[in-house]
Structure 1
Amino acid sequence: MAPELINANPVVYQRKDRQSRVRVTAVEDEYAADPIDQQEIFDHIRDIKDPEHPYTLEELKVVSEEAIDVDDRQSHVRVTFTPTVEHCSMAALIGLSIRVKLIRSLPSRFKIDIQVAPGSHATESSVNKQLNDKERVAAALENPNLLDLVEDCLSKTYL
């Protein structure tokens, strides 16, 4: 018997058609001539695969450029994401995938905050606490099964 999907029929949106602004390598110089901005952060996370469906987080409108705050001078990024259903059991995995992608993509000087959009999830505060606790994130990434799930979300083999 196949596992039951949390959201069997998600609404799928059109991807934005534009050239990516992702840098080939992350620049550690905090005074780089071209600061990291909202669009660049979005370009890093837009192609993360949903854990349940063969769609990206952008196509499901789980992430959007408007829900990203960047302060390059203060080295801070906040990504607010919106699960497709308020009882999504994959919310922590989605947030963890976003965090891992940004850790791998941004200069180490950046503090990264990941949060569920207010009112969009039944256990919003619990998910937010998990996603922004360094010890919980480190423990999650030490779990080989969970790390495999994150790697699957970050793989581009579905395109």
Structure 2
Amino acid sequence: MVSGLINENPVIYERKERYDRPARISNDHGVERIDPLEVFDHIRDIKDPEYPYTLEQLNVVSEEAVEVSEERRLVRVKFTPTVDHCSMATVIGLCLRVKLMRSLPSWYKVDITVAPGTHATEDAVNKQLNDKERVAAALENSSLMQMVEDCLAPTYD
């Protein structure tokens, strides 16, 4: 048994099968289009900061929680912490943001939020995850960025 964790026995979900994805296609304006499944493919293998599982395996992220608006050039991801008082919620959100900043075309705005009603301090977490100055400060914190890099490191199943 792992000690010191808020949720010592998280539920582990089966990973979904990966699909062969066609190359990105361009819209009428020559801009590459992305879809929710592509976004999910980018974030599904992020490792949880506390557990040896991915965010997909812990059901923190899912295909259904990803929205893409081509018109607004917006990608929205709602994630669900394993417990409503998860102390790592902001770290998870930062991992999602960094991964998508590195993976998506730069013209997409990324909005990361805790799914409504799934965290005790939902408003505070959402404000921190979507405030440019706070995100910039977090990206300059070497200890925090090392934790993010560990979560983003590839896994070899």
Deviation digits for residues 59-97 of structure 1 (CA, Å, limit 9, x no counterpart): 000001101110123210000000000000000000000
Runs in 1 of length 4+ with deviation above 6 angstroms?
26-30
Residues 23-81 of structure 1: CA deviation (Å, up to 9, x unaligned)? 6xx99999447620010000000000000111000000000110111012321000000
Match of 1:121?
119
Matched length: 156
Q: Distance in 1 between matches of 2:40 and 2:30?
A: 19
Identity of aligned residues (%): 63
Alignment of 1:10-21 (within 5 A): 10-19=10-19, 21=21
Q: 1:21 and 1:87 mapped to 2: Cα distance?
A: 36
Q: Normalization by structure 2: what TM-score?
A: 0.91
Distance in 2 separating the partners of 1:90 and 1:83: 8
CA shift at 1:124, angstroms? Answer: 0.2
Is the contact made by 1:46 and 1:63 (CA closer than 8 Å) also made in structure 2? yes
- CA deviation string 1:101-152 (max 9, x = no partner): 0000001000000000111000000000000001100100100000000001
Aligned Cα RMSD in Å?
Answer: 2.3
What does residue 39 of structure 1 align with? 37
Unaligned runs of at least 5 residues, structure 1:
none
Q: Which residue of 2 aligns with 1:5?
A: 5
Counterpart-to-counterpart distance in 2, 1:21 and 1:112:
22
TM-score (norm 1): 0.90
8 Å CA contact 2:45–2:155 kept in 1: the answer is: no
Q: CA deviation at 1:5?
A: 1.0
Supply the AA of the counterpart residue of 2:7.
N
